[in-house]
Amino acid sequence: MVCTMAFLRALLSTARMIRYSPPLSAGLSADDAVLLDAPDERLSPALVAAALGDYEPAAKLLATTRDSADWENRDRHLGRLVTFARSRDGWLVDWLAAAPRDPDALLVKAELSVRRAWESPARAERLREVGPLITAAADADPRDPVPWRLALDHARGTHATHTAFESLWEQAVRRSAHHYGCHVAALRYLSAAWYGSHRECFDFAEQAAADALPDSLVQALPVRAAFALLLDTQAAGRTTSVLEERIDAAADLAIKLSAAYRPGDPWPAEVRNLLAYVLLARGRWAEALHQFNLIGLHATSFPWSSVSEDALGRFLDARDGARLQVASLTPLRDRAGHGRPRGHYA
């Protein structure tokens, strides 16, 4: 009888997937249309020009963010430009030759040097060597918090004490109290993988989110703490029962933040990708599928590259998994017997 019931449940689940998978795909972008880390309309011309050896659009883009004190976009554009420069840096070499004291060129140089140092087997030693480059970038424009985000990452890699890190943190938040990148750097330092614990991560993230401005990405810090915990416990084969309530509360807060932005908006795309991962890990399939709908074309390397060498493939597999799970759990008939699926995706 037990075997028969299990077989019946499997048949019903298969029938639901066959019936409801196609309608649930209607709001999702086609697989071949999804792009990984797609640049926005401001960054794209700078990357194209850099590929052709022309640094001027990148220089203008970063100068604009500095002049307008748009520190969040400055940090985001910097990250993408440096990712490109890791494989093709001729444009940066030319830029530094033409304007060796340009604050924006110095910032790109510092970030690129820090990333390369992180990849070295002698990480701490190499990071100490590039410390003066971070200082030069910070001195070039004392208002800019982004070099201090670099300094926080640098401190983590050089095994800085808590006291030294707190001093850098004070300098960072003095320049921008709600800068997302600086908060992420602090969260990493406090993580169980480095110099803190999962509880410290959650404490910091939850307090920062409570203090954040409306619709600020800092409100996504708790879901980053949740992701770190889930990744750690999955790798170690442990349970997360002690912090389950905090994980779900973090996801709920991130859902509220995501709802503040329009569908397909590239700005919260990384947060939505991260949120989808956490919701899947918690078995909240319908909510995860809704986030995939909101993500649209904008898959991001993080968090998928943390669990797979093929980040885009992992994103697409996760999206399909959410769709199939929702389909398999949708009743074949509603209570009135009309044969229509119920709930958000009816």
CA distances from 227 to 26, 27, 92, 230, 243 (A): 28, 26, 35, 5, 12
Please give the pLDDT value at position 317. 96
Q: Are 57 and 45 in contact (CB under 8 A)?
A: yes
pLDDT of 1 above 70: no
pTM assigned to the model: 0.86
Residue 5 pLDDT class (50, 70, 90 cuts): low
Q: Over pLDDT 90: what percentage of the chain?
A: 82
pLDDT of 340 above 60: no
Residue 28 pLDDT class (50, 70, 90 cuts): confident
Average pLDDT over residues 6-25: 47
Q: pLDDT (tens digit, 9 = 90+) per residue, 197-250?
A: 999 999 999 999 999 999 999 999 999 999 999 999 886 666 566 689 999 999
Q: pLDDT (tens digit, 9 = 90+) per residue, 130-184?
A: 999 999 999 999 999 999 999 999 999 999 999 999 999 999 999 999 999 999 9
Q: Are 250 and 222 in contact (CB under 8 A)?
A: yes
Please give the pLDDT value at position 107. 98
Query: What are the residue ranges of helices labelled H in the chain?
Result: 2-24, 43-51, 56-67, 71-85, 90-98, 103-118, 123-140, 146-157, 162-175, 180-190, 198-211, 221-236, 244-258, 269-281, 285-295, 301-304, 311-329
Q: Could you say which DSSP state residue 196 is in?
A: S
Please give the pLDDT value at position 329. 82
- Cβ contacts of 124-132, under 8 Å, gap ≥ 24: 124/157, 124/158, 124/159, 127/154, 127/157, 127/158, 128/158, 130/154, 131/158
Helix (H, G, I), strand (E, B) or coil at 325: helix
Q: Are 166 and 152 in contact (CB under 8 A)?
A: no
CA distances from 174 to 135, 168, 171, 259, 320 (A): 16, 10, 5, 30, 44
Give the residue among 182, 207, 204 at the shortest CA–CA distance from 72.
182
Write down the residue that tokens 């993988």 correspond to.
Answer: 193
Q: pLDDT (tens digit, 9 = 90+) per residue, 242-297?
A: 689 999 999 999 999 999 999 999 999 999 999 999 999 999 999 999 999 999 99
Average pLDDT over residues 12-22: 45
Helix (H, G, I), strand (E, B) or coil at 224: helix
Judging by DSSP bridges, how do beta strands 35-36 and 298-299 pair with one another? Answer: parallel
